């Protein structure tokens, strides 16, 4: 879905998806281990690069911090 929005140059939708993920990663600790790992991997592969592409380095850093925090648990 992110790739589709990117190709269509739908920046507003990309921002909505990014901030939805930002909220979801903050609450990822309540998810089962396998689902948590899936969310973390997707965040690292898709959403951190998206934040960097959208020139939101602070969001990318925060997403990475949450990924690291919950990867070690």
Domain locations in the chain as residue ranges: 2-71
- Dihedral sign (CA 14, 18, 23, 27): positive
Residue 3 has a pLDDT of: 72
Q: What is the pTM of this model?
A: 0.86
**Is 1.10.1040.10 the CATH number for 2-71?**
no
Rounded Cα–Cα distance for residues 25 and 17 (Å) = 12
Looking at residue 8, its pLDDT comes to 72
72 is written with which tokens? 């070690």
27 DSSP 8-state letter = T
Written as tens digits, the pLDDT of the chain (73 aa) is 667 766 677 788 899 999 999 999 999 999 999 999 999 999 999 999 999 999 999 999 999 999 999 886 6
Structure-block tokens of residue 17: 């998806």
> DSSP character for 7?
H
pLDDT confidence of residue 9: 74
Dihedral of alpha carbons 62, 37, 17, 19, sign:
negative
């Amino acid at each position: 879905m992110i790739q589709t929005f990117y190709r269509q140059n739908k920046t507003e939708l990309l921002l909505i998806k990014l901030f939805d993920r930002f909220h979801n990663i903050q609450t990822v600790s309540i998810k089962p281990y396998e689902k948590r790992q899936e969310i973390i991997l997707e965040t690292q592969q898709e959403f951190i690069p998206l934040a960097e592409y959208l020139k939101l380095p602070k969001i990318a850093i925060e997403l990475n911090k949450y990924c690291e925090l919950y990867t070690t648990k």
